[in-house]
């Protein structure tokens, strides 16, 4: 393992160990996500998924005869903090990271992981640039167990073109790597399917008052708002739209599939749509894990099982390779073998993306989201 690119100060990040003392014989792995900030609810899903996977693997005797020890990095969905977290994890001799969540965090952190020989498997970063750029540079350390925004945007764009043919659609993004990326892909697909948007607008993540934007959308009589961004801003936009009597349907990506969205939107969020993979809680292979989570009083929604699956993929690759070295893991990951996980059977292409990802629509109602049957 080569030396970290840049050593981070302790004040720049939040990092803990699940065990008070780690043996030199233990295998150090990590989960990195926003444990604080607006997307902390997603970070909690990542943490719970990783902790459960590690506990289950250790209960079965560990990995390669050794115990897994989990480090938890808080990137707060901030690119600079993500780099600081990545460097700190490298200094802790971590061999694998399940993370990050925000594409804007995963992309810069991936450079640190590549430089230091760490395998990165993200449960939720969907921007195509993450794996496209890594592959173009010849890196072999970056993978994801979720689909990409070009696949997700194709589903959303085709839906908009069909459902809102001849109607007014607005496309809004928050300028983040994720938000702008998925909005661009959705716009491209929608335009190719024959529908041109009425309005394009950008917001700034962290903004609270969208009254001017809502007024503009209302004057344009928009019927649908496609929002590329995260759950808090999405919830505020639809709530403020209803307060101004704008009844346009809010449609977004996978970031809206967290209860925090509805906590912000309230009943105004009813009818809002979002794309996500088919509910992994319904996968037969996940039943035992889901039942175990629920027995502990937790419903493994959103990215919980995706993070569990990321740890599973690492463990399966390590067992197959009989090693935790990146070069050995890469040979297994790029061999074309199928990895049996709680979210189903996964295969990776040469870029590190899953083969044949699937996206479907979900709808919010009464504080719950349900998959729309096609």
Considering its fold, how many domains does the chain have in total? 2
Prediction pTM value: 0.89
- Same domain, residue pair 262 and 166: yes
Residues 26 and 134 in one domain: yes
Q: Which helix (H) or strand (E) holds 326?
A: helix 326-333
Q: Is residue 95 part of a domain?
A: yes
If one counts every other C-beta atom within 10 angstroms of the C-beta of residue 284, the result is 8
Residue 362 placed within a domain: no
Name the token pair of 326: 């990146």
Residue with tokens 């592959």: 135
Task: Count Cβ neighbours within 10 Å for each residue of 352-366 and write b for 16 or more, e otherwise.
Answer: bbbeebebebbbbee
Whether residue 75 contacts residue 125, with contact meaning beta carbons closer than 8 Å, is answered with: no
State how far the Cα of 339 lies from the Cα of 341, in Å rounded to an integer: 6
- Final residue of a domain: which of 241, 258, 276? 276
290 and 271 in a single domain? The answer is no
Is 187 within a domain? Answer: yes
140 shares a domain with 288: yes
Q: Is 347 left (phi over 0), alpha (psi -120 to 50) or beta?
A: beta
Asked whether residue 15 falls in the same domain as residue 142, the answer is yes
Taking the C-alpha atoms of residue 209 and residue 228, their distance in angstroms, rounded to an integer, is 17
What is the extent of the structural domain holding 188?
A: 149-276
Is 371 a member of any domain? no
- Each of the 374 residues of the chain gets a pLDDT tens digit; together they read 333 344 344 334 445 444 434 455 899 999 999 999 999 999 999 999 999 999 999 999 999 999 999 999 999 999 999 999 999 999 999 999 999 999 999 999 999 999 999 999 999 999 999 999 999 999 999 999 999 999 999 999 999 999 999 999 999 999 999 999 999 999 999 999 999 999 999 999 999 999 999 999 999 999 999 999 999 999 999 999 999 999 999 999 999 998 999 999 999 999 999 999 999 999 999 999 999 999 999 999 999 999 999 999 999 999 999 999 999 999 999 999 999 999 999 999 999 999 999 999 999 999 999 999 86
Find the radius of gyration of the CA atoms of the chain: 20
Q: Which of 254, 276, 298 is the last residue of a domain?
A: 276
Shared domain for 127 and 168, answered yes or no, is no
| 100: preceding bond cis by omega (within 30 degrees) | yes
Q: Does the residue 233 lie in any domain? A: yes
Query: Which DSSP helix (H) or strand (E) runs through 33?
Result: strand 27-33
Judge if 192 and 244 occupy the same domain. yes
Res 346: pLDDT? 97
Beta-sheet strand order (sheet of 360-365): 199-202, 169-173, 224-228, 249-252, 273-276, 360-365, 368-371
Query: Based on the domain organization, do 52 and 174 belong to the same domain?
Result: no
Cβ(2)–Cβ(117) below 8 Å: yes
Q: Which residue is it, tokens 């150090």?
A: 28
Are 107 and 84 contained in the same domain? yes
Could you tell me if 287 and 142 lie in one domain? yes
Burial class (CB in 10 A: 0-12, 13-18, 19+), 212: exposed
Does some domain include residue 92? Answer: yes
- Residue corresponding to tokens 């100060």: 9
158 and 136, same structural domain?
A: no
192 and 271 together in one domain: yes
Strand pairing class (368-371; 360-365): antiparallel
The three-class DSSP label of residue 30 is strand
Angle at 63 between CA 62 and CA 68, to 5 degrees: 65
Residue 252 lies in a domain: yes
Q: Is position 181 within any domain? A: yes
Phi–psi pair at 269, nearest 5 degrees: -75, -10
CATH of residue 251: 3.40.50.2300
Q: Hunting for tokens 């764009």 — which residue is that?
A: 157
Q: What is the Cα–Cα distance from 122 to 306, expressed in whole angstroms? A: 9
């Amino acid at each position: 393992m080569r030396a970290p690119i840049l050593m981070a100060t302790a004040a720049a990040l939040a990092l803990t160990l699940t065990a008070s003392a780690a043996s030199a014989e233990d295998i150090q792995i990590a989960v990195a996500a926003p444990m604080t900030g607006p997307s902390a609810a997603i970070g909690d899903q990542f943490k719970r998924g990783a902790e459960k996977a590690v506990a289950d693997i250790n209960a079965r005797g560990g990995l390669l005869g050794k115990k897994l020890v989990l480090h938890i990095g808080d990137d707060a969905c901030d690119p600079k903090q993500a780099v600081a977290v990545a460097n700190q994890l490298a200094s802790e001799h971590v061999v694998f990271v399940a993370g990050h969540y925000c594409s804007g965090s995963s992309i810069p952190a991936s450079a640190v992981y590549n430089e230091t020989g760490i395998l990165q498997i993200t449960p939720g970063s969907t921007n195509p640039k993450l794996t496209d750029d890594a592959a173009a540079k010849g890196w072999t350390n970056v993978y994801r167990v979720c689909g990409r925004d070009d696949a997700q945007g194709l589903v959303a764009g085709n839906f908009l073109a069909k459902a809102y043919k001849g109607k007014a659609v607005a496309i809004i993004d928050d300028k983040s790597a994720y938000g702008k990326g998925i909005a661009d892909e959705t716009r491209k697909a929608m335009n190719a399917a024959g529908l041109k948007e009425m309005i394009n607008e950008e917001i700034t993540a962290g903004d609270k008052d969208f009254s001017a934007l809502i007024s503009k959308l209302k004057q344009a009589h928009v019927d649908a708002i496609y929002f590329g961004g995260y759950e808090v801003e999405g919830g505020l936009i639809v709530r403020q739209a209803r307060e101004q009597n704008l009844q346009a349907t809010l449609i977004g990506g996978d970031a809206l599939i967290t209860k925090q969205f509805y906590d912000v939107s309230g009943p105004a969020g009813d009818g809002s749509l979002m794309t996500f993979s088919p509910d992994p809680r319904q996968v037969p292979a996940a039943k035992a894990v889901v039942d175990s989570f629920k027995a502990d009083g937790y419903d493994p929604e959103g990215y919980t099982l995706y993070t569990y699956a990321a740890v599973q993929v690492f463990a399966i690759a390590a067992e197959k390779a009989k090693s935790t070295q990146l070069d050995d893991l890469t040979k297994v990951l790029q061999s074309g073998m199928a990895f049996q996980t709680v979210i189903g059977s996964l295969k990776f292409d040469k870029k590190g993306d899953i083969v044949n990802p699937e996206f479907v629509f979900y709808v919010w109602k009464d504080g719950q989201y349900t998959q729309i049957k096609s």
